[in-house]
Amino acid sequence: MILNTRDQDDSMILVTGLSGFTGRHLAERLRARGARVVGLSNSGQGEGEIACDLTDAVAVRNVIAELRPTHVAHLVAISFVGHGNPRAFYDVNVFGTLNLLEALAALPKLPRKILITSSANIYGSPSVEVIDESVCPAPVNHYACSKLAMEHMVHTWFDRLPIVMTRPFNYTGVGQDEKFLIPKIVSHFRRRAPFIELGNLDVSRDFSDVRDVVAIYTALLLDAPEAVGQTFNICSGRAYSLRNILQMVEDIGEHPIEVRINPSFVRANELPRLLGSNALLRQHTGLAPQIPFRETLRWMLQTNATSGVNN
């Protein structure tokens, strides 16, 4: 059953993955702008969500035909690199996106803007110090390969749909699953665990705060008309090693922790450093992540510790 989401002349934003980590933060930001937001998920059990499997082309077309969204933020993806089923990366990330675009293109009135999220993982480990959008992709795992394949497919729709695509680098915040690195570290410090098992401490990543990321997504979706047809890095332009991050969390949490290196956590194709340029994003929107990463870590430690918030 489709939700009664809007009056005839009202705009409505569809967010795939609404109940996920990024989706919840994005929905909060969009609603603060006065937007009406609905979502798609396999279960349809989250607030404002409709049950729809994106890999089912018929179901997607039927739901989209009834919703007729004016804007779309496509966040759904299998994003955990260690996911155990390689085929699922392509089923969801490539063909799920294709099903969505075909359904949107079939509407009698096209959406005003469609935001598609890819990933900076497509760059692999290039030889340049700072990665901008002109760097040739060289993915090294199934997640990144599926995102690059998705990008190539999405580009074939640029002349038919008002699409803007993003390549977010690493970002984190309150509510991210503990199978991801930063929430895992924060959880250990919050529980005052005596030790933590990690892999390579010297890998460096460009981290942003999810609140900055969804602010940029909102601007790209609702503002910045010149962004259509463009692909943007979403990054802070600052890289932090895992060793640096551990020290920051230890300082904030005032709790020493023993770090044990688990060889099974060290990936053979681990990227040693990933640092992005946000110059193109700033040129078109005037925006870039601003929240210092230490403040992101403090937010994660203090919010969870004091209120149990998980949104």
Nearest to 79 by CA among 121, 136, 51: 121
3-state secondary structure 41-106: ECCCCCCCEEECCCCCHHHHHHHHHHHCCCEEEECCCCCCCCCCCHHHHHHHHHHHHHHHHHHHHC
The two tokens of residue 244 are: 């640096």
Tell me, what DSSP letter sits at residue 298?
Answer: H
Q: 């340049």: which residue's tokens?
A: 128
Q: Which of 123, 143, 171, 217 is catalytic?
A: 143
Catalytic status, residue 123: no
Q: Count CB atoms within 10 A of the CB of residue 111.
A: 23
Coil, helix or strand at residue 240: strand
Name the strands in the sheet holding 273-274, side by side, starting at the edge strand that comes first in the sequence. Answer: 239-241, 204-206, 273-274
Where in the sequence numbering do the catalytic residues fall?
A: 143
